[in-house]
Structure formats: C-alpha cells, structure tokens
Structure 1
Amino acid sequence: METVRKVMNSYSVYPNYITKVTDRLFRIQDGQGDYALKKSLLTRETVAGWENAYHLAASQNLRSVLPVYLTHKGNLHVEMDGSIYYLTPWVQTDERQDKKEYIKGLFHGLGDIHANTKRSESIDKDEVWNSFDTYKEYCIGLQQDLLSFVERFENNRYMSPVELLVCTHFKELEAACFLGAKRTEQLMEKGRQDRRWNWSLCHGNLRMSHTLQTAADPFLINWENTMYDNAVRDLSGLFSRETIYHNHSGSLFMELFPEYMEKNKLTTTELYLLIIHLVNPSSYLKLIRMYTAEDGPLMDHIPSLQQNYRRILFGLEFSRYIEEEYESFSFNENGN
C-alpha cells in the first residue's frame, strides 16, 4: 500500500482508507472524497493515445467518458515503479436499474461519442476494396473446409462429443460462411460507389463490465485500448463479447439498436461491415483444426465452440433484423 500512498501524494490526496478491490483497482477515501485508483496496463508507448482520448472527451464534453483527475502538476497519470496509474471518481453503481434502460443508456452514450468525434475521408486506393474481395474468397474457402470436416466426422463409426457438436452446428455455420461472402460483396459494391470512410473515437475493448451502471446514463471506463477507428469496431466488439454467454442480451441489443442509430446513424457500408464481423466463422474453424491436430477428443474445445456458435447465431439473427427494420439499406440478394 506504500506505493499507492506515494501515487496519491501526487494528487495531494492523503488516504484514510485504502481498499484493494482487485489487483489493479483501489478504492481511496480521505474523508473528503471517494476515488478509484487504477494501476493500468498502459505503457510509455501507449499512454499518449490514452491521454489524447481524454483531451478529446473534455473538448467535446463527452459525458459518458468517466473523467480523470489531474495531478498537482497537471498530469493525467502518474508513473511509479514501472507502472502507470490514473485516478477517477469512485462511482457507486445502481444494480437495481432495469437492464433494458441500462443498454439504452449505453447506446445513447456510445452513439454520442462516435457521432461527436466523427471525421470522414475518401478512400481512393483500390487495394483497400480488393482486400475485401480476398476476404470474400476466404469465406468461400472456409465453407468448403467446414464441409470437409463434417463429412470426415460423419464417416466415423462413433462421433466424439466435439464432432457431434460441430455436425449439429453445421447448418448455421454454413449459412454464416455464405452470408459473410454475400455481405462482403455488397460492401465492395456500395463502397466503390461512395468511397467515404468514417473514423471516430473508439473504446477498443468495449464490454458491459467496462461500463458503470448509474441512475443516469452509464459511464464508459477503461479507455486503455482506445483508438481512432470506424464505430463498427466498438459495436462488433461489444456484441461479440456479450453474446457468447447462455443468457446473453442479444434480443435487447437488437430491440434497442435504433437508440444507437438515432445518435450515430451507420451507413449501409458500415452495417454490412458490422454483420461481416459478427458472422466471421474463422475462430470456430480454428478450433476444429486444433481439435483434429490432437490425439483423442479434447473436451476443452466444447465451451469455446459453443461460445463462437452463439456469437455467429446472433450475427445471423442481427442480419435478418437489419433486413426487416432498415429496408432502405437494400439488403437484398443482389446487393443493389
């Protein structure tokens, strides 16, 4: 705790109580304020990008970004014993808040951040779009690989639990390969017509555990992986991380997606890209290859296969939802 006290001296805060919440999070109380001290994973190479995110949040008045205190020297962080620390207010979460209202608030805050920091530029290089053409062919190849694995498993007299699971998932996995190729083709056609590309401040590691649930809209915390990228980066990451669990929030994500679109309306190209990320079957196929490379059934693969399957299943459902709710985006078979 001596290191923590030294760090707090840099903020002219002298703790009465220090509570170790996790190995990297401390609750600090000095009788006047309640603080959260984070021992980050930032390095000297990455801290500049993190600082820029907070400068941008302050200049744009992004209320969903939990503010960081300045040291008495005016710095956003403290480097001590090879680690970088930063200090924020301690926010008491409201666990009683309805999950629907919580996700609605999250979409409002995230949409505001993406919209208020957005900048656009023209992509004139054909190699960018050609890379998507390569990915389309990759999806077609994955579909053939998947079929080969299933035929191989079905030829076994007794299938292992892993093999039986893969065969059970085959229909949806095949659909994901087809949809990935289809949406990629549509993205290329639309992207070549309108070569604008949007960049926004992105969290970079967005998940429900990186938000603080309050009576008002939640705060987004842990901006250590922040970057400037397309807003789809955050949305695909959030959906992918949260829909792998058995009782996930996928139905609420779809029901409340218009709340995000109202704040930051995604283009047709961006919607294509979001779906491509969600139905990407490469991680699932990688697990199958790992399984077949080992001797004997590897039961440890089953949870990971199930998690990837749930994420892909959500992607297929999300694609159908977009077709039904956003007819103007022309998600038809020909991509016109």
Structure 2
Amino acid sequence: MVKLNELTQQEIENVIQVYGIHANYVDQYGKTYKIYSDHGIFALKKILPANGMDFIRHVQFLYQRGYNRIIPIYPAPDGRYGVLYKGYLFYLMPWLPNEEKEDRSEKHQKMFRELARLHSLSVKEIAVSTERRQEHYDETIDEWDRQRDFLEEFIERCEQQWYMSPFELLFCTFYKEITQALAFSKRQLEEWLEESKEVEKVRTVVAHGKISIEHFLYDERGRGYFANFEKAKIAAPFHDILPFLARTLHTYPKRFDDCVDWIKTYMSYFPLRAEEKHLFFSYLAHPGPIIKVVEDYMGNQEKRNEIKYVKRLQEKYWLLKNTEYVVMNFVEQNNQQTN
C-alpha cells in the first residue's frame, strides 16, 4: 500500500472511521488528504496538537460572532473537532471545488472584503497603558538605532577599501535609500506614539495568520471561504496585511497598483484609526530584510559566497523599492483624507 505523507490509506481509514465514513480513494495535497467516499468528497487536514486548541477556539469564536465564511469543521459523533493519531491532530472538512470564474485581481478584492468583515466581526478593544506603549517605542527605536549605526559602520568600512567587493559596491549604491526608509519608519513610529497618547484602548482582531488566495476557496455557488486557520491569533488589525505584502512584493520591480487597490478595499470596509495607520506605515516601510542580508554578509566572512550575497542584496533592494511604491501611495491617500 502506497504511503501518503507518512500515512497509508489504512491509517487514514483509522482516522476517519471516527466520523463514520469510508475512503474509496485518497489523493494527497501537501498536508491535506482529499478523500473520496460514498458520503461525498472530504478534506482531511493534519496539524500539530500544540496548535489545535487555539485554532479550534478561534474558529468557534468567529462562528459565535456571526462570521461563517470559514470552511466548516465537522465534529465527530462524540463532539470532538479533531482526532489525535500518530502525533498529529486531524480534522475533517468538506472539499470545496474552488472553480474560479474571474481573474486573479478580482479574487483578491473578494478576499480582502471578506478579511475586513472577519476583522470587523471579531474586533475587540483592550486597555494598554501609556507606559507599555512607551516601552514598546523605546525598545523598537533602540533596535532601529542599532541598525542605523551598523549601516554607518559598514559603509565606512566599504569606503576604506582600495577595491570594494561586488557586494560592498552594490551596498554603497543602495545605502542612501536604505537609511531613508529606516528614517521614515522611525518618524512614523514617533507619530504613532504622539497620536496614541490620548488613546486608552487598542483594537485587536482574530487574525487569519497567513492570508493568500491559496487559502481562499470557492464553493459550488462561487462564495469565498477562508481555509488554513491554524496560525490564527489575536493581534492588531494589520497583522494579516503585513506578511501578505512582504510575500507579494518580494519580486522584480513593478508598479503594484493592484496590490494598493486590494489594501484600499480592505480599509474601505475596515478603516484603520490614525494611530494604527502610523504603526502600519512604520512596520511596512522598515527595511529589515535588506539589513538582515548585510548583517549575514558581515557575520559569514569565512564562508562567504559573493555571488549568492549579491543576488540576495539585489532581491531585497527590489522588495524595498516595491514596498516604497505601496507605502507612498498609502501615505498620499492618508494625507488627502486628513487635509
């Protein structure tokens, strides 16, 4: 019998028998098994048990708040929402056909409208002291000042060389834009601290954890549902947007007008407060990825692959410029709204 992701079909049978179904045929898609049975087609997903309780609790909370655009999890007859087997927790869902009838951009628009609705229905305000905000500001600024000092030291080191390496030469070319992005992030963080002085509470939502169109699936009626809630957590509203942008913008240089429109769609249904925008702009613009490449280059002097590091530096510079385009669009829109 063929192994499917470390489980045989018989072992899968041992899991799904709890639900009273029998598998006629099984396909594997990553960590998900597509199960064909006399009762229909199901998706069986496996996760680590440590993530199981939080995941199920967040999904149940969203259902209680009236949010039902989550692929439903079938409970077993004994009420369990997961089956523990061979060190993993398995849960059962319907298999959605996910037939797309529009282009990629329209699917993104629908996904971000649903994300805004998810956040709107799960939003909750919690008290955060002025001291805690100041502490976060101080810790973040200290780290960013350390990064600024490191960049200054490295460019001085480069400029002292008789012959710069290709990496050093490329870094010197990018240095001004990297430090400008770092300074912008710092200014936005300062404005966040100033704006939030009179704010006693902050908003939290149930964040999906890893939004993507691969995790936004259509049923037979064309309605979109979120899948893969295993990384869901209570976080700031923009917690979902930042990782999405980091992945989307990590490509060759281009105008990401579609991406800007998607986020604007989200904000039109779930507007960010003034202080939330400043914190969002600060985190989004921060050039952490390209600084990390330079730090790695300095820390691996004995086993350094120059071509590899030049390629990484160039890729992170493209990310920096793509991010800059998106940030400036958001900032310009925000300035027009406040003036």
Q: With structure 2 as the length reference, what TM-score do the two structures score?
A: 0.87
Match of 1:290 among 296, 302, 309: 296
Task: Report the counterpart of residue 334 of structure 1 in structure 2.
Answer: none
Confirm or deny: 8 A CA contact 2:253 2:319 kept in the other structure.
Answer: no
CA 60–302 in structure 1, closer or farther in 2 if over 3 Å, else same: farther
Q: How big is the shift at 1:16? A: 0.9
One-letter amino acid of the counterpart of residue 19, structure 2: Y
Asked if 1:233 is matched to 2:239, the reply is: yes
Asked if 1:268 is matched to 2:274, the reply is: yes
Residue-pair matches, total: 328
Q: How big is the shift at 1:4? A: 0.9
Residues 280-311 of structure 1 show CA distances to partners (whole Å, capped at 9, x for unaligned) of 22342232122122234443334543443344
CA 262–238 in structure 1, closer or farther in 2 if over 3 Å, else same: same
Quote the sequence identity (%): 20
Asked if 1:299 is matched to 2:278, the reply is: no
Most deviating of 95-104 and 305-314: 305-314
Cα distance in 2 for residues equivalent to 1:311 and 1:328: 26
Asked if 1:75 is matched to 2:80, the reply is: yes
Asked if 1:156 is matched to 2:161, the reply is: yes
Q: How big is the shift at 1:264? A: 1.1
Confirm or deny: 8 A CA contact 1:66 1:220 kept in the other structure.
Answer: yes
Residues 174-211 of structure 1 show CA distances to partners (whole Å, capped at 9, x for unaligned) of 11111111001000000112232001001123334333
Q: How big is the shift at 1:14? A: 0.7
Asked if 1:66 is matched to 2:74, the reply is: no
CA 302–4 in structure 1, closer or farther in 2 if over 3 Å, else same: farther
Match of 1:178 among 179, 183, 202: 183
Which aligned runs of 4 or more in structure 1 are off by greater than 6 angstroms? none
Confirm or deny: 8 A CA contact 1:140 1:181 kept in the other structure.
Answer: no
Q: How big is the shift at 1:240? A: 1.2
CA 182–60 in structure 1, closer or farther in 2 if over 3 Å, else same: same
Cα distance in 2 for residues equivalent to 1:306 and 1:195: 43
One-letter amino acid of the counterpart of residue 32, structure 2: L
Q: With structure 1 as the length reference, what TM-score do the two structures score?
A: 0.88
Listed as ranges, the gaps of 5+ residues in structure 2 are 1-8
Match of 1:33 among 27, 37, 40: 40
Confirm or deny: 8 A CA contact 1:242 1:248 kept in the other structure.
Answer: no
Please provide the CA RMSD for this pair: 2.4
Cα distance in 2 for residues equivalent to 1:221 and 1:247: 30
Counterparts of residues 249-268 of structure 1 (less than 5 Å): 250-268=256-274
Asked if 1:204 is matched to 2:209, the reply is: yes
CA 34–234 in structure 1, closer or farther in 2 if over 3 Å, else same: same
